[in-house]
Chains A and B, each alone.
Chain A
Amino acid sequence: MSENLLSVRALHKSYGSFHVLKGIDLEVAAGEVICVVGPSGSGKSSFIRSINQLEPYQSGEIRLHGELIDPRKNVDKLRQEIGMVFQSFNLFPHLTVLENLMLAPTCVKNLSKRQAEAKAIELLTRVNIVEQKDKYPSKLSGGQQQRVAIARALAMEPKIMLFDEPTSALDPEMISEVLNVMKDLAKSGMTMLVVTHEMGFAREVADRVIFMDGGLIVEEATPEEFFREPKHPRSKLFLSQILQR
């Protein structure tokens, strides 16, 4: 058995007749930061959403520290160890910022209110937003909401964090505040799988860059290699298009 934290083997997924993932294999070691890049429609989001079973897939297996994730058996348990951050934040609008962070720890892990609150305050301080703890999400800017969403996922003390285009719905001036939080998180040793269009972030933070196109992993390289001399023609084309902007 591999010692890897996350292991994906031969993952296939179709939406009806559209074959969106055509056999994805990926090993993620503990502490690794991986950025998944590629053109839209390449299956990046479907892939990352399959990992914690938000998307059903037709074949393949996904293991978290060796344990096979089975949607009918252990999915609720293993999801507690997989943090997820969405493009559209998805904060709970009927709960305050603090309550957004306290809900899952109290309701799933049976933490006391006091323990959950202490943890929540610690995390909100870490993402630099603790002064907003009693506000409702609708009162916050997009960048603030996304930082709260990161803290909410961290409140469950996950082993790995998945980010599905975390800055794509943000106004440009708010992107860096979210990326800075993610950089700090990466430095703290968190295992991260990040679908992103932020090439600067990928270059600076990633241990490995994965380029996806047409439902396959086309190229896998260190950021230095990938951005200096991409090997695959499709990676070259993608990078040239992105960098032209």
Chain B
Amino acid sequence: MKSFLESRLSKGALFILATFLGFALLSFIVGKLLVFLPEPIGSRSDLFVQGAKVTLLITLYSAVLGIVIGTLLGLAKGSPRRWLSYPAFAYIWLIRGTPVLVQILFVFYALPVLIPQLQLDEFWAAAIALGLNVGAYNAEVIRAGIQAVPLGQTEAARSLGLSHTKTMRWIVLPQAIRIVVPPLVNNIVALLKDSSLASAIGLLELTLAGNRISSETFLPVPVLSTVALLYLIYTTAITVVTHVLERTMRLKAHV
């Protein structure tokens, strides 16, 4: 049932998989190239690679979490039911009104005090804090995307007998996705950069790795330039992939 629609989903999944493989390949090549750079980069390339790997993984996990949270919150905030929209409104207000660094510190240091079972390591504390953060920003984007789908689409679907949920699932969300991809990617690019804040709780990601090498070698200019360059490579790669994605979606349906 619905296999003709699900084939689209599998194409989407394939695209995401290809993107991950592309990023893994990119990281591998970047790692190999770093070895050839002059001192002090070449000899410490393993630490750069290690840091970049943590940065990418934390971005990946928090982006996935952020999109799930953003979709649920976006639907909730746009819902006519107050018991859904009010909590969503409060969550977005709280997260967007406080610094992400404070949120990371809170999840790592304060949450275990409040709930002793929630003893997270640096990686998961940062991934969850960043995911919760970007989720609030994504929610606004997704709510706006859903509202941008013309009302006539919902009316046509409902008049065919589709329930509210099925209308969302098969008619509204697939069209909203095309609208929300560019701003969501902006959020993910911001997330990749914000992941550097995880260095504050001692997570050895790209920024902390660079900072350590810089203070060991007393050569901040080449080391921090390399750190910045690596961020730039990854944010550019994300942007390029998105442009390709946008183009293919537009070519297919001219929406």
**Chain A residues within CB distance 8 Å of chain B:** 52, 54, 76-77, 79-80, 82-84, 86, 88, 90-95, 99, 102-104, 106-108, 110, 112-113, 136, 138-139, 149, 152-153, 156
Contact = CB atoms under 8 A, between A and B. Distances in A.
A84 to B, nearest CB: 4
Given A106-B1, A136-B253, A76 B152 contact: no
Contact of A152 (B1, B155, B160, B254): B160
B250 to A, nearest CB: 11
B254 A107 contact: no
Contact of A153 (B160, B163, B166): B160
A79 B156 contact: no
A86 B152 contact: yes
Question: Would you list the 9 A-B pairs with minimal beta carbon distance, nearest first?
Answer: A80-B161, A90-B156, A84-B159, A104-B160, A90-B152, A138-B254, A79-B161, A108-B161, A93-B255
B212 interface: no
Most buried by A among B155, B160, B174: B160
Nearest to A93: B255
A80 to B, nearest CB: 4
A205 B114 CA distance: 74
B5 interface: yes
17 contacts: A76-B158, A79-B159, A82-B159, A84-B155, A84-B156, A90-B156, A93-B253, A94-B175, A103-B5, A103-B162, A112-B1, A136-B252, A136-B254, A138-B254, A152-B160, A156-B160, A156-B161
A54 B146 CA distance: 19
Nearest to B169: A107
A69 to B, nearest CB: 13
B152 A108 contact: no
A94 B162 contact: no
B164 to A, nearest CB: 9
A52 B254 contact: no
Interface of B: 1-5, 150, 152-153, 155-163, 166, 170-171, 174-175, 178, 252-255
Contact of B162 (A88, A90, A108): A108
A74 to B, nearest CB: 11
Given A54-B155, A99-B4, A108-B166, A80 B160 contact: yes
A149 B156 CA distance: 9
B60 to A, nearest CB: 27
Contacts of A108: 160-162, 166
Contacts of A83: 159
A79 B156 CA distance: 11
B162 A107 contact: yes
A139 B255 CA distance: 11
A136 B175 CA distance: 14
A42 to B, nearest CB: 21
Contacts of B2: 106-107, 113
Nearest to B175: A94
A82 B155 CA distance: 13
Contact of A94 (B152, B155, B163, B253): B253
A113 B5 CA distance: 10
Nearest to B153: A90
Contact of A104 (B3, B152, B161, B252): B161
A138 B255 contact: yes
A192 B166 CA distance: 27
Given A92-B153, A94-B255, A136-B253, A54 B175 contact: no
A128 to B, nearest CB: 22
B247 to A, nearest CB: 16
A52 to B, nearest CB: 6
Contacts of A82: 159
A76 B157 CA distance: 10
B174 A94 contact: yes
Nearest to A105: B160
A76 B254 contact: no
B156 A110 contact: no
A221 B153 CA distance: 35
A138 B253 contact: yes
Contacts of B156: 84, 86, 90-92, 149
Contacts of A79: 158-161
A153 B252 CA distance: 25
B172 to A, nearest CB: 10
